[in-house]
Structure 1
Amino acid sequence: MPAIPSSLPSGAWRFLPTLALGSVGGYLAYLIDLPLPWLLGALITTTLISLTGIKLGSPGRLRKGVLVVIGVMLGSAFTPELSGNLSAWLASAAIMLAATAVMMVVAVAFSYKVAGHSLDTALYAGAPGGLSALLMMAHESGADLKAVGITHAVRILVLLLAIPPILTIMGHVDLAGASNGPTRWSELPTLSGTAWLVAAAALGALVGKVLRLPNALLFGPALVSSILHFSGMTHAVLPPALIALAQVVIGTSVGVRFVGVALSEMARHLGLAVVQALILVILAVIAAWVGQALTGMSVAAALLAYMPGGAPELSLVALSLNIEPAFVTSHHLLRITVLLIALPPLVTWAHRRLKR
């Protein structure tokens, strides 16, 4: 067997076929005018192949790099014009937190009472987002990691597949005209603009780590980039081609989570996870209508902001469809931060309540 060149880690080489497969799926979806073609095309293709038992390479470190790129892109949506929306954003954030609490109660009760999971497994499987941190916490508690991972993976899959038809039914977004065409893929920022974006990426990754932000590689660059753009220091944006590439990588990263999931053995787990995810989608739609009625914010933006989980994926959807990405991103950051702070004492309280 020939040696793997040292210029790329072995994991990157193993992912290249998966990336190629996702790109083909994205291109086919683009040709048939599927909404969010690069994301959903890559996601559907790799998910179906994973479920057949074929092992696909994971994006690994490439996903981390893409998270930094998405963070910088999201930060560019924080323009000075947003300053007038503060009161509406605060009201919407309160509605989002209330909706998140309701969703978590429903999800945990479903996992515990219907799916028959242990209390710890139900709590971590029902938590709306922050999967990386949740898996570490679940491992320490002795929860069923496979059940937690599958529940979150299925939830993200269902959310992403449900968004286009829901937005179409709502009639608030022209999905047919939302994707970037080939004529725009060659657009590039200026040299000085590129320097600002690179600085936001590098400094943001460091800031996210120092501040211990949830999903630091996403929210750190988003924070630094938002400061640069909101202050007017730069107006540079990354080329649309990078958005397409980010969609492919994120789509494949969701699809490969189902590698090794045997349908014959996991049909019940998958079925219950789908039912739970659909219930949460319905609750998110209701919350979005309430948020729109009380704050006047776009119902499409509220829907993406209130969806229970998948901060990188849903923020990228908002960015790709130009549905108030700054609003969506800030809500997901707040939700995950509150969740990770509140979950440990909540687990302790739930155990004490169960013993009583």
Structure 2
Amino acid sequence: MRDTAAGLLIGAAGGLAFWLLGIPAPWLAGSMMAAIAAVFAQVRIGMPDWLRAVAFIFLGIQTGTAVSWDTLDRAIHWPVSIAFLCLTVVAVTWAGMAYYIRRHDWDVPTALFASLPGALSLTLLLASSTTADMRRVTIAQCIRLFFLVAALPTVITWLRPPGDHLTMSLAQIGGVWDILLLVVVSAAAGYALEWLKAPAGLMLGPMLASAGLELSGLVAGAAPMSVLIPANVVLGVMIGARFSHFTLAEFRAALVEGFSGFVIALAIAMAGAAVAAWFSNLPFALTLLAFSPGGLDAMTIMAFSLNLDPAYVGAHQMARYIGLALFMPAATAYVLKRMGACGSQAAKVEEG
């Protein structure tokens, strides 16, 4: 409890400081930076599973209640941009692998799992069953997420012209019974999908349930935005706590490699987002956030913070997450087998 309280207080203080400074997405970026500083200052911080679950459920509720019939009308353009997103994911992975193998002489398994964009838990689980260097994979994934959360809001703010946004203006839910219905039904849906082992069930269930309640008219309006601030802080502390497994020296050494990987991934994501924005007639800032190779939770929270359509961003990040969860095991096994075979043949040629 002390570790949890310390993490929440430190994260809230960091978020408040960033908010006072006017930094974009302050509660997420500020809490993450404060948590990382605390970790390397030898302060013990923690986040229990139940609190993480609550944060994911409320984030799913926030995203679902942002869905309206107007959202569904615009969704006709989404399949096109999701198709470009799939191509972008492949390109980001391939480019990251090539960079780590050629520039830093990493082995194929380590480079592959360090380059996969998103689905961190599944990526680490699959990497652990191979010969990949788990320290390098974990650090590379965490460093990329660190730079995304720290830098992406500012990048999007710079790139977005005034008025270039796409969001819904929903009144807040006023009735206590409406809020209670929304929370109970959404939480039940989240735990049901989690029990069924659905990818990102704790977010997907509340997202679908709250969207259904909103579209059916049983609930009108969104949950108070103040609910999103604690979710920001919890997520920021969760990201920061991942660095507790590394020393400060390891963190410093990984910054260059991690930043280079982040720049490569962001450049490809920007190219894919620009093409999708042109084909779908959507704002570039919106497609960039949806295409950014971060986590489902972090990117969706960022959509709210940057006043971008959370339904669009959430749908694309969810598509990326589910796609990786479904196809990553077979795809990574195939790539490792093919590249392993190529490596063996190259070794035989050199020996000959």
Task: Give the alignment partner of residue 253 of structure 2, picking from 268, 292, 295.
Answer: 268
Q: Which residue matches 2:312? A: 327
Aligned match of 1:259 = 244
Letter in 2 for 1:319: F
Q: Structure 2: 5+ residue runs without aligned partners? A: 343-352
Q: CA RMSD in A?
A: 2.3
Shift of the alpha carbon at 1:61? 3.1
Question: What amino acid is the match of 1:312?
Answer: D
The 8 Å contact of residues 205 and 217 in structure 1, kept in 2 or not, is answered as yes
Q: What is the aligned-residue identity percentage?
A: 26
Q: Which residue of 1 aligns with 2:214?
A: 229
SS state of the match for residue 132, structure 2?
Answer: coil
- 5 Å matches for 1:106-185? 106-172=95-161
Q: Deviations over 1:273-302 (max 9, x none)?
A: 121012111221222222111111121210
Shift of 1:211: 4.5
Q: Which residue of 2 aligns with 1:303?
A: 288
Whether the aligned pair in 1 keeps the contact of 2:153 and 2:302 (CA below 8 Å) is no
Query: Given the two structures, how large is their TM-score scaled by the length of structure 1?
Result: 0.87
Q: Structure 1 residues 274, 52: CA separation in 2 closer, same or farther (over 3 Å shift)?
A: farther
Alpha-carbon distance change, 108 to 298 in structure 1, aligned in 2, over 3 angstroms: same
Q: Which amino acid is the alignment partner of residue 103 of structure 1? A: V
Q: Which residue of 2 aligns with 1:290?
A: 275
In structure 2, relative to structure 1, the CA distance for the partners of 1:109 and 1:244 (3 Å cut) is same
Partner in structure 2 of residue 105 of structure 1: 94
Letter in 2 for 1:119: V
What is the CA–CA distance in structure 2 between the aligned matches of 1:341 and 1:91, rounded to whole Å?
20
Give, in whole Å, the separation in 2 of the partners of 1:229 and 1:313.
23
Q: Write the distance in 2 (CA, Å) between the matches of 1:43 and 1:265.
A: 18
Distance in 2 (CA, whole Å) between partners of 1:99 and 1:136 is 23
Residue 254 and residue 98 in structure 1: after superposition, are their counterparts in 2 closer, same or farther (change >3 A)? same
Task: Tell me what 2:199 maps to.
Answer: 214
What amino acid is aligned across from residue 5 of structure 2 in structure 1?
L
Residue in structure 2 matched with residue 9 of structure 1 by the alignment: none
Give the deviation of 1:168 after TM superposition. 2.2
**Residue in structure 2 matched with residue 85 of structure 1 by the alignment:** 74
1:69 Cα offset (Å): 0.9
Equivalence for 2:347: none
Is the Cα–Cα contact under 8 Å of residues 6 and 44 in structure 2 kept in the other structure?
no
1:34 correspondence with 2:16: no
Q: Runs of 4 or more off by more than 6 Å in structure 1? A: none
Counterparts in 2 of 1:265 and 1:28: CA distance versus 1, 3 Å: closer
SS in 2 for 1:308: coil
Q: Alpha-carbon deviations, 1:145-178, whole Å to 9, x = none?
A: 2222211111111111222221222134679xx9
Shift of 1:316: 0.8
Would you say the 8 A contact 1:167–1:173 is kept in 2? no
Q: Give the drift of 1:234.
A: 1.4
Partner residue, 2:65: 76
Q: Answer whether contact 1:80 1:231 (CA < 8 A) is retained.
A: no
The code of the aligned residue for 2:4 comes to F
The AA in structure 2 aligned to 1:245 is: P
